[in-house]
Structure 1
């Protein structure tokens, strides 16, 4: 891992890996969509159960992406390595997109199931909303400071603070009474849902994970090139 912290090594290692990740993501998404539409209706939820195949993976990836952002921020802040900062920055936008998708599909699912688009008193809803705001705050903070070094440090601190919210999101359904049901996948005794819904759900979760990896690697590679171009321009300006 520390060997890949070298930008040149990282670029060489991820050059063949990135298109593979994109290919795996496309294939898994195609299979997942097909399984989602061919799955039977739920006896209680009907066709609205299919929203689960978009909502649950999006929520999971929102947490995973922020975990990547937070860990990268730690290495950027402690070891001050530019590649770690690039990784944190690259995780922010896709993570925010996945979290926004989780909030939107959650509202679409909540209306027929709960009778309301949103419940301000629900701990899971509010903690995911706070997660989205951390993403927005991270990107806004970086954009608001002209000095890129200062912006990276300030954003890294915010990224680390936001890690506190991850266990709150995960265990909110266990710690408080919420409209959300308890965990159905990661629980003692194994998954509680039927196999006809489990297969498309797990496939879509794998597809989202591959998609995030593909986007993340592509964004990090682009960020490395962008910084090298800026450095080259600065050197030419000094020479001039």
Structure 2
């Protein structure tokens, strides 16, 4: 059953038709979670004892950072599937994920700078975590550039997938940078193997925002992939029939 479902994903038409009903639900869930999390974190969570209200940037910074890393894995895995199984839909997901990841990484860098100014006294330092995140941003831009650099789509897909896969070595560096090197960036406050160092009154709205960002990411990736399907399959009969109906 699972293998049959996997092969169905190779059909852009099946994916497009199957996911049509998901969009309203994902939109409603993501908007609800983001509103609840933002209001809870910005208006009702207590101020930090040392950082005051400046810490509240984490309700944007942390979810954006999480998704920047997870989104890169999504892009790289899709690229690998496209290389190995020649699955057109996987190539479309890879291309669609690149600009979303670039935006999220940019947001993480900017919000980190906004938090760093009152905390460290400067907008930017060549900290291990920050520098590796900057490398991640350039990797995303590299995949985007490769997609536009080749007229042949298959060549663009292969080049982008190879770069995405090579770039995965940077992800564990980002994760472990605060442990491997002396760094200004604080260690992880949300931990799954031990007790988190953030107070529950601050943690719960942050978790709501993280889940909201993940659902929103799924929504945007789905919509971009559906748009890419229509663009690449525009000469097929089913897309032409769909255009006539709409």
| TM-score scaled by length of structure 1 | 0.93
Which of these residues, 19, 27, 32, is aligned with residue 22 of structure 1? 27
Structure-2 separation of matches of 1:127 and 1:230: 42
2:99 to 76, 93, 96: 93
Shift in Å, 1:148:
1.3
* Runs of 4 or more consecutive aligned structure 1 residues displaced over 6 Å after TM superposition: none
Q: What are the residue-to-residue correspondences of 1:15-164 with 2, within 5 Å?
A: 15-37=20-42, 38-120=44-126, 122-164=127-169
2 CA distance for matches of 1:140 and 1:161? 16
Please report the RMSD computed on the Cα atoms of aligned residues, expressed in angstroms: 1.3
Give structure 1 stretches of 5+ with no counterpart: 233-240
Is the CA contact 2:9–2:89 (under 8 Å) kept in the aligned structure 1? Answer: no
Say which SS state the counterpart of residue 66 (structure 1) adopts: helix
Q: Is the 8 A contact 1:19 1:214 kept in 2?
A: no
* In 1: Cα distance, 2:25 partner to 2:122 partner: 41
**How many residues are matched?**
231
> Are the structure 2 counterparts of residues 66 and 176 from structure 1 closer, same or farther at C-alpha, using a change threshold of 3 Å?
same
1:219 to 212, 221, 224: 224
Normalised to the residue count of structure 2, the TM-score between the two structures is 0.91
CA apart distance, 1:231: 5.8
1:237 aligned residue: none
The 3-state SS of whatever aligns with 1:182 is coil
Q: Is the 8 A contact 2:30 2:212 kept in 1?
A: yes
Q: SS in structure 1 opposite 2:138?
A: helix
What do residues 196-233 of structure 1 show as CA deviations (whole Å, max 9, x unaligned)? 1101110110111011000001111111111111567x
Measure the CA separation in 1 of the matches of 2:122 and 2:145: 31
Provide the rounded CA distance (Å) in 2 between the counterparts of 1:168 and 1:18.
Answer: 34
* In 2, Cα distance between equivalents of 1:202 and 1:10: 30
Structure 2 gaps of 5+ residues are 238-246
Q: Which residue of 2 aligns with 1:180?
A: 185
